[in-house]
Structure 1
Amino acid sequence: MSLGPGDPPERTPVDPLRVHSAVRGPCLLVEAEGELTILTSDELREHVLADMRAMSGPPLVVLDVGEVSFCDSSGLNAMITLWKAAHGSGGELVLARPERRFRTIIERSGLDRHLIAHRTPEEALAALSTR
């Protein structure tokens, strides 16, 4: 279909980001679903930072990214900010369920040295709980 002079361009709908979190033992499990982009990364960052501030003790955070369909540089920056905040408070932030494409982005950016990934949220929670 061609566009006429008055036709608006068709847009690919943005998959909004949904963020849910729950305390599991000494850890915070954060589940993200959707696109992690310049339009949504602030939402993730502010949600997790607020939850980290509410925790007693050093924040031990599992970020489950198994349902993140896309991540751009703003999303990576949000994760770096969260990782730094956790470490600055004596805690840790790890990833769970990163898909192959997501892992590739982390590896190519060199962030895999800091953002440790686990196959499942349970594996990540167990690793942090023994910390």
Structure 2
Amino acid sequence: MRGKGRATMGFEARTDVRAGHVLVTLAGECDLAVRDQLHTILEDAVRSSPLVVVDLGAVDFLDSSGVHGLIVAHHEARARGGRVTVVNPAGAVAAVLDITGVGELLSPTAERADG
């Protein structure tokens, strides 16, 4: 199914509706400059599916604004009984997710906590 794409200087996001989940593919730099755009994209995805998979394979840079966007989406999904996971983080992006604990929190293999 064709998805929606949005691009800003140094950042691109594509949303594809798939069977059983929404795939959000991010590319470029996820920082303060794209905070609102990232929030809107993830919020729309969380509203449209109980499972949102965020592919970070093409993200070159992730700062605290990007991490915050992922955490907000996680909380919004949980409030709706859903889940957000991240896949394919690499290099510095994977390191940021590991250091903050967000990588483990949003891992596809993490146990779902229904607390």
TM-score when normalising by structure 2: 0.80
Aligned residues: 102
The structure with more strand, counted as a fraction of residues: 2
Partner in structure 1 of residue 81 of structure 2: 90
> For residues 77-122 of structure 1, what are the alpha-carbon distances to aligned partners after superposition, in whole Å with 9 as ceiling and x for unaligned?
001001111111111111111003212111111223312157xxxx
Structure 1 residue runs without a partner (length 5+): 1-13, 119-131
Match of 1:74 in 2: 65
1:38 correspondence with 2:29: no
Cα distance change, pair 115–51 in 1 and its aligned pair in 2 (3 A): closer
Shift of 1:15: 5.0
The 1-side partners of 2:45 and 2:99 are apart by 29
Query: Larger Rg: 1 or 2?
Result: 1
Listed as ranges, the matches of 1:1-131 within 5 Å are 15-55=9-49, 59-116=50-107
Query: Secondary structure of 2:95's partner?
Result: helix
Where does structure 2 lack aligned partners over 5 or more consecutive residues?
Answer: 1-7, 110-115
Q: TM-score, normalised by structure 1?
A: 0.71
Identity of aligned residues (%): 27
Give runs of ≥4 in structure 1 deviating > 4 Å.
none
SS of equivalent to 1:94 = strand
